[in-house]
Structure 1
Amino acid sequence: MISRLSAWRKALGLDWYIAAIVGMVVLASILPARGEAALAVATATKFGIALVFFLHGAKLSQEAVIKGLLHWRLHGLVLATTFVLWPLTGLGAATLPSWVLPAALAPGVIFLACLPSTIQSAIGFTAIARGNVAAAVCGASASNLIGMFATPIMAGVLLGAQGDGVSLSSLQAILLQLLAPFIAGQLLRRWIGGVIQRNGKAFGLVDRASILLVVYNAFSGAVVAGIWSQVSAFDLGRLVVVCLVLLAISLGFMIWIARTRGFSTEDEIAIVFGGSNKSLAAGVPMAGVLFPAATVGFILLPVMLYHQFQLMICAALAQRYAKRVSP
């Protein structure tokens, strides 16, 4: 049991990271950045966001994305779920009455639904479950590549339909702060990709530290704007239920559709984790660019809660799959 837990932690590299994210929320709630400090943190956050996407671009293998096209049925299913069914489901959830889902948190559910799949955890869970790891790598890479363009557009359209908007300046910021560094990383990957691969742990710490800074900045702005006077413990409880229901629906649908379409167990595993997981690593910096500082905290609450639940529940599901396919 201890060895399995260690393997899970090693595969995902998240044994301290979740606590650190929660710690940033607590720190921002107690000591939010104000005045000149807020300006300094915001400037550092912009640099951190650009660095995150530069590293993502440098690490993402173009060969993996191209190879993924060979298994088009599997990846087509995962991508259709991620960028079509998920956003429609999120839009439906956001229309729930306020006694089910607080109106202040509904935009965050829509944004969650528009996010791409994870890379690290989807691959890690697939490996633990003894699934098709190559397909998981290709699918997650393609999902994140498409998400760079699709997520901001879909979030803007769907939030606009709900009366909230993503401004033109935010979309321009996506080009400058996200796409430009990402493309630069891709162009330089030939020369720096090997260095990043050999020093993956060190660059991973830089990546995650940047995201922690974004979380602190987001919740500092939200605290100053009065997030905890607008979101009660009861509101958080209702959001927890909504996130758990969304995760259950996603997992149940992916299992059902994979078996209905006749995929092998190994392919089913890659489909389930690729189609149900949502990327915190992509969502946090995107939200920091797309939304005003006062609202980013509201947007990120559903993303952060869903992320915790997907880690816990998918870890248990991966172990069940591992027993099922073991010789």
Structure 2
Amino acid sequence: MHGTVDGFSYGLVTPVAAYLMACLGGALGLRCTLRSLRAGGSFRSGWLALGAVAIGSGIWTMHFIAMTGFTVEESPVGYDRPVTFASLGVAIVMVGIGIFIVGHRGATPLALITGGTITGLGIASMHYLGMAGMRLHGRLEYDSPTVALSVVIAVVAATTALWAAVSVSGFLASLGASLVMGVAVSGMHYTGMAAVSVRLHAGQDAAPAGDGPVSVLIPMLIGPAVFLLLAGVVVMLDPLVVLGGQDKERAARNAPGIPAQRRRAPADWQAAGHDVWNSTWPADRTAQRPPRKR
């Protein structure tokens, strides 16, 4: 016997709240990834780690906010706490691997594809591990093609997000990328939930093992929400944000995988027969300018 599943028992409240959380985590993660390309040494690793935790926490919190609206009419739903929080670790670690690949190897096609695939698989693993932590009077069954589609959505969304992190600049562009990422992550979640059905066990009336949704939701929200708030403060107090992106051109020239901006050679250099455009033309042009012909 199959149970009656409802993924929107609170109407639009949980989908909207989950979407906003995914956007927040994505916005902070994308900003931290972009900022890491303008830093060096340990600062780059620090920004990448902050971005990984921000994205992982945002996606994980989005998932379980959405899951508060998931009910089975014939059975109460509980959650196994260790498995539930293990899914958070999986999300952060795998998203971190993808972000570090792009952050240190640059925006090359191979780095984006590799990092996006690992990040997307991390998002999907977090989702289905979190689902494995559910406890109810039955077992979850999945439609394989729909599950495969949700994984594809996760990989494509992650790859697009990493590309946006190293290619998109400016407040409005970053905001748009974050909104698109929120749509993609939410789409992956609800596509995965569309694959779920519940086969009930016969003759079981006791409450399922594990904690109820409310008792899991309170500590779940407090930790990641506080972290995302603090991460937002760190990002907003960053000098490059406060100063409106000064030195952006100089930093972009030093970022891996991003070609330096080419400068036009002086007229006397052109007259000497050299190329008009020279990507390696020194900043101190007067020091290396060739003598004028007399």
- Give the structure-2-normalised TM-score: 0.32
What's the TM-score, normalizing by structure 1?
0.29
Higher strand share: 2
Structure (1/2) with the larger helix percentage: 1
Point out the structure with max Rg over C-alpha.
2
